[in-house]
Structure 1
Amino acid sequence: MNPCITIEREGDVAVILINNPPVNAGSLEVRSGLLEALNIVTLEPELMGAVIIGKGGFFIAGSDLSEFGKPLQEPQLPVVIEAIECCNKPVVAALHGAALGGGFELALGCDARIATEKTIVGLPEVTLGMIPGAGGTQRLPRLIGIPKAIEMICSGERIKAPEALDLGIVDAVVDGDLRSAAITFVREMKGKRRVRDLPIPPAGEIAVNDAARRALKLGKNRPQIHAAIKTIVDSTLLPVDEALASERAIFQRLRLTDEAFAARHLFFAEREAAKLGNISNVSPRCITTVAVVGAGTMGSGIALAILQAGLDVVLLEQSEGALVSGVGRIKEHYSQRVADGRMQQKQANVALAQLRPTTDWTQISRAQLVIEAVFEDLAVKQDLLRRVEPLLGAEVIFATNTSYLDVDAIAEVAQRPQNVIGLHYFSPANVMRLVEVVRGMYSSSEAIATGFALVRRLGKLPILANNAFGFIGNRIYAACRRQCELMLEEGALPAEIDAAMESFGFAMGPFAVADLSGLDIAWRMRQARATQRDPRARYVEIPDRLCEMNRLGRKTGAGYYRYSGKTRSEDRQVTALIEQISASKAITRQPFSREAIVERVLLTMANEAALLLTEGVTTRVGDVDLVLVHGFGFPKWEGGPSFWASRQPLAHLKRRQQELARVTGHGFVKGDLALFHHMHNRQSISATA
């Protein structure tokens, strides 16, 4: 018997055990073993049915994604499911942990499904640039109807067993021993009950169209969303075998698209990001209470993120007024969630009871970890650390939320600099998934491990970065913004650059983002670093001049654009200023195509990412892409700047890099773009969908 699959006989019921740790991925070995086991069940007359169950913590958490960039080997999953359906005896899927992707499709091919209460099920293929390819779009609609199937499949939604029971996806949720319950369930079944033979619940055309429209909006109109909707609707239009064949053909095509490769790259990168290298075996400290210093927009957002994880929060402010405002933002968040039906009032009350707002600095001693979210100024942050450290225990970690400042310079004023780390949240902190965990030269392994563990407990994505200006994300974005400003001098206008980047897939272009954030933030940073500026390097005065005119962005009604509410419009005054500055520098303005703008921005990002890797700010190309996708809106279907660079001919990249160096002038440093090129078509890491 295949080493991944064993059969244990419980009287007249065969128990087929899947053992492919760590998550029982549906690999070739698993598929082959299941097919062999099903043949045995079919042929042995003393067996009346079978249970398929996973060993360890999972049923089948998904297919083996490492196979998806290559020709798939037989038997493929549809063949295994066909064997279940052709078996003359009932087969029950006993679900626990996770049954996702191909694992869930296998369960849908069984005659019944029972699950433990904490089991999650779902079809996340669209999030990987594909559609379910083993009958998910055909069998699920027969259980839950077309509109709900569109919603669930096109969002990649994962649902828990109790909801799956209410929907009719699973037949029972068990509290006791799953294996025993599944064996009993098989014995009580009266023959086969194939999902493919069930009628599709009726649904009106309006309901179907509404579900499709919502799915396309949520899925940003991506090709796999259109394809998923088509195949789901095909279940009502085509004979089941024809619809299954069509689904499989579409799946086979989509899994080899650039978008699917990009999605798998990000999937693998996220798995790698969870590894901490030489500190992976370091135990994090126990955290039950976190103190957040600063109740502004960022501080209250961080406090919310921590409350949502069920931890106690001490929210500290200097003034009562600022504290009241911060608490008000937190309460408003919970009130809105209750009003929208996403949370019960009782749950909101429990969360708010864990919040301890105060202006009493001694209350900070309750915490095992402190996060400062005060004004972005080195002296302010240093003074804060000096003030709070005497109130803290010797093991308490101090985390700075700085975006650009030197973590080591902050730590140098500490009595225990080994406890100082960076936790750089992105705004809004309770929504954005990314957090850069910054390791300074003094930071202990325990402090970094604890910060990493806290971020993961919040349900966020921690990315490890070594201390450097801007860390990973802001360092790359600053280089990108500078190139966009240079293009303003050379002939482009803000709206042209923003339109080009938005057409590529960014939700907002760089100048619209600058207006939203406030131009004064970057202005203060430039002023603070003015003495470090090389006078031989090109410097664009346009954003400084806008700030001097009090055009600070949306908050003043004007920045690169003029605003009426949230609606932006081009402003002739800005155009005149840009043209005036170009003329003062004797620059002959030239038009830019959208393609030229996009390539220059992406090449700049890739070049800066290569420098970060060479300098050791990060050691993994995938981390760069995760930061840009999750922190800066880089379209995930493009995979990130490193992945983009890996898909371009290296000779072309180097020619364009040479041109970029020429137009940028003094101070431009060329990164080693060959660092990315080995990634082309690499899908060698085993993982699950």
Structure 2
Amino acid sequence: MTAINSVTDLTIEGDVAVITLNSPPVNALSANVREGLFEGFKAAIAEPAAKAIVLICEGRTFIAGADITEFGGASKGPGLNEVQDMMEGSPKPVVAAIHGTALGGGLEVALCAHYRVAVPSAKCGLPEVNLGLLPGAGGTQRLPRIVGAQRAMEMMTSGQHVPAKECLAMGLVDELAEEGKLRDAAIAYARKLVAENKPLVKVRDNDTKVAADRGKPEIFADFRKANARKFRGFLAPEYNIRCIEAAVNLPFDEGMAVERKLFMELMTGSQSAAQRYSFFAERTAAKIPGIADDVPLIPVKKVGVIGAGTMGGGIAMNFANAGIPVVIVEQKQEPLDRGLATIRKNYERTASRGGLTAAQVEERCALITGSLSMEDSFKDVDLVIEAVFERMDIKKDIFAKLDAICKPGAILATNTSGLNIDEIASVTKRPEAVIGLHFFSPANVMKLLEIVRADHTSDSVIATSMKLAKQIGKIAVLVGVCPGFVGNRILGARQREAQKLVMEGAMPWDIDRVLYDFGFPMGPFAMSDLAGLDIGWVKEKSNGESIRDVLCEADRRGQKTGAGYYDYDENRNAKPSAFTEKVINDFIVKSGANPRKISDEEILERCIFPMINEGLKILEEGKAIRASDIDVVWQNGYGWPVYRGGPMFYGDLVGPEKVLAKMKEFQATMGDQFKPAALLEKVVAEGKKFGQL
């Protein structure tokens, strides 16, 4: 064995040179790795005894992709293209031996080998689209030459990781090896290539698949049309498609020029910057300053949930999905039965779409049991989550009972979306065990979990909750106690302005359109119609004093009644409502206001800038650890477009100076609700960015 550098070895196994890469944790294509590969192939090609070359990786995976930490910086050592040219131009057959994942740059390296061998558990993919990019090392030109334009578009615009057996069927992999025997199988395959004098197959020269797609523009037009909703607002999917079009219609070198041009446009643009920022922000959110890595964790082997409604049932499903038994407690049998039936229907719906097997449905349903007694069911649970109506008196009553029932060391959690958890904890003798676990609806689907630290919550309870969130597939953000916590508090600032804009002359559909065009799935009024205008509305107490009162009194309660702020057809397609417009105009006349034409720019700034300002107040108060945590909350819980990074990232994009100037302008003309946060003033005065907070 010869050490090429600190991460690469070269071994001569008879007539086969084996280059072994070992750069934990995922063999990412750092400068050191690229240097090792370049020098390794150079030495293997020069080795007289070697007639073939195998590239294999140690650890849990093949090359899992680029080293993202190097993005945007100065490149050191050999470039990836130099490594690829060395491989592809080798006069000896090169075999890539794949286990784990060959992703992004890793697959682009493997595509420059003449042949590929993989174990069945391996997966391949080009997921750069998830970082707002396209494969920038020939992946857009080589992949279509193996799998055809259609399959290449599917893989590259979704970033999917394709199983090895599927890769074999489409020609991306040439042979499967037994698990645990990849090295021997790859060497044997290399010897077979030499013995049979197989050609040195360069993917770049393979024209068969792309020639078959040439002259068929409908392939691309149909794909764009079918995915228009999913790709809305994103540049990267379209740029990936254009590169594949180039692979089909242009010679390889010209296609590479297109790839390079479009790659650089994305790399230097704001969308990829936002998506790369988001990638790191999610990982940073898991790091909690002041909590030791070795803090004792509480084993959670059984969970209790109070409430079998939509939220409680969804919460229970998260734990069953992770193999953790759950008992749901309700006051009466009928809502309990209904809740358990809904859980089963949700699982069966997933199975009907191929997401679960029938056996898995039964396994998960068996992990969820129902009960009418907290006393009988919660004595041995390690965690109990309350998911009942948002009323402080109800929650305090429940927590006083839990304090008496649950064993010492059990975590007592509330799913409240904004009530004071310190007040809830005050009725227990163990406030250190009380924490907020704010799931978002539908709880079995939404990724975000706001973990709310109260004044006395212990480090062990916090650390356990963070770990448990990851175990059940959630993205957790630790926040502090304040009305609405982080997400709903910032939402309140936006909702306030949306309602005021209506009373100044902007119609609900104008506001919704601006926010939809910005990238949100829907605007605030369409969202209200979807949720139901009558949530929290009581007919007997309604007095027609608000627009919502009048709409609900007219039985316009949202999509479910066929009318709300909008009118809906039988397919729930929305259109502006003359009835709603008249109601709004009547309220404007009654208020004595003078309606005016409001520009799209003002609508956006009035809705978004107060959100940024509220985020800064939250940071001032220490209710969020970092600005990036706020962005993680808004992306994963409220539909903030990932290609805009989050409210705080977007504030940096437009400039803290502009945000401050606009808030001052609005304050002067519309009142102190626009008063800039002290931290906003400080950031601008010191020439800083929100991302530094």
Which sits farther off after the overlay, 436-445 or 383-392?
383-392
Match of residue 349 from structure 1: 362
Residues 1:336 and 2:344 aligned together: no
Which sits farther off after the overlay, 393-402 or 139-148?
139-148
Structure 1 residues without counterparts, runs of 5 or longer: 528-539, 683-689
Equivalences for 1:457-606 in 2 at 5 Å? Answer: 457-521=471-535, 541-543=546-548, 546=551, 551-565=556-570, 566-606=572-612
Distance 1:307 1:366 in 2: 17
Residues 1:142 and 2:145 aligned together: yes
Pick the aligned partner of 1:325 from 332, 338, 346: 338
1:617 CA displacement = 0.8
Distance 1:213 1:400 in 2: 44
Q: Deviations over 1:119-139 (max 9, x none)?
A: 332111112111111121222
Match of residue 125 from structure 2: 122
Structure 2 residues without counterparts, runs of 5 or longer: none
Residues 1:184 and 2:188 aligned together: yes
Q: Deviations over 1:29-87 (max 9, x none)?
A: 32222112111111121222333233333322221223333455563322211211001
Distance 2:449 2:53 in 1: 46
1:445 CA displacement = 1.2
Q: Deviations over 1:254-288 (max 9, x none)?
A: 21111111111111111211212222512432223
Match of residue 300 from structure 1: 313
Cα contact 2:307–2:388 (8 A) shared by 1? yes
Provide the aligned C-alpha RMSD in A.
Answer: 2.7
Match of residue 626 from structure 2: 620
1:618 CA displacement = 0.8
1:640 CA displacement = 1.2
Q: Deviations over 1:276-322 (max 9, x none)?
A: 22225124322232222211111112222222222222122211111
Residues 1:446 and 2:457 aligned together: no
Distance 1:292 1:155 in 2: 36
SS at match of 1:357: strand
Match of residue 104 from structure 1: 107
SS at match of 2:49: coil
Match of residue 665 from structure 1: 671
Distance 2:110 2:230 in 1: 27
Distance 2:187 2:691 in 1: 44
Q: Deviations over 1:528-559 (max 9, x none)?
A: xxxxxxxxxxxx95446655666543345543
Equivalent pairs counted in the alignment come to 668
Could you state the TM-score of these two structures normalised by the residue count of structure 2?
Answer: 0.90
SS at match of 2:634: helix
Distance 1:28-1:502 versus aligned 2 partners, 3 A rule = same
Q: One-letter code of the match for 2:363? A: V
Equivalences for 1:42-441 in 2 at 5 Å? Answer: 42-70=45-73, 72=75, 75-170=78-173, 171-190=175-194, 191=198, 192-201=200-209, 202=212, 205=216, 209-220=221-232, 222-279=234-291, 281=293, 282-361=295-374, 362-441=376-455
SS at match of 1:365: coil
Which sits farther off after the overlay, 188-197 or 150-159?
188-197
Match of residue 636 from structure 1: 642
Distance 2:463 2:20 in 1: 36
Cα contact 1:411–1:417 (8 A) shared by 2? yes
Distance 1:273-1:162 versus aligned 2 partners, 3 A rule = farther
Cα contact 1:114–1:174 (8 A) shared by 2? no
1:203 CA displacement = 5.9
Distance 1:118 1:623 in 2: 35
Distance 1:232 1:29 in 2: 31
1:597 CA displacement = 0.7
Cα contact 1:289–1:313 (8 A) shared by 2? yes
Distance 2:39 2:371 in 1: 65
Match of residue 530 from structure 1: none
Q: One-letter code of the match for 1:334? A: Y
Distance 2:58 2:413 in 1: 40
1:212 CA displacement = 4.3
Distance 1:338-1:203 versus aligned 2 partners, 3 A rule = farther
Match of residue 533 from structure 1: none
Q: Deviations over 1:577-623 (max 9, x none)?
A: 43344344443222111121112212111111111111111121111
Distance 1:544-1:479 versus aligned 2 partners, 3 A rule = farther
Q: One-letter code of the match for 1:500? A: V
Q: One-letter code of the match for 1:606? A: I
Distance 1:543-1:69 versus aligned 2 partners, 3 A rule = farther
Q: One-letter code of the match for 1:194? A: K
1:679 CA displacement = 4.9
Distance 1:96 1:584 in 2: 70
State the identity as a percent. Answer: 39
Residues 1:18 and 2:30 aligned together: no
Match of residue 535 from structure 1: none
Q: One-letter code of the match for 2:348? A: S
Distance 1:391 1:161 in 2: 51
SS at match of 2:378: helix
More relative contact order, 1 or 2 (CA 8 Å, 6+ apart): 1
Q: Deviations over 1:378-430 (max 9, x none)?
A: 11122222223333221221221111111111111122221111111111111
Q: One-letter code of the match for 1:576? A: K
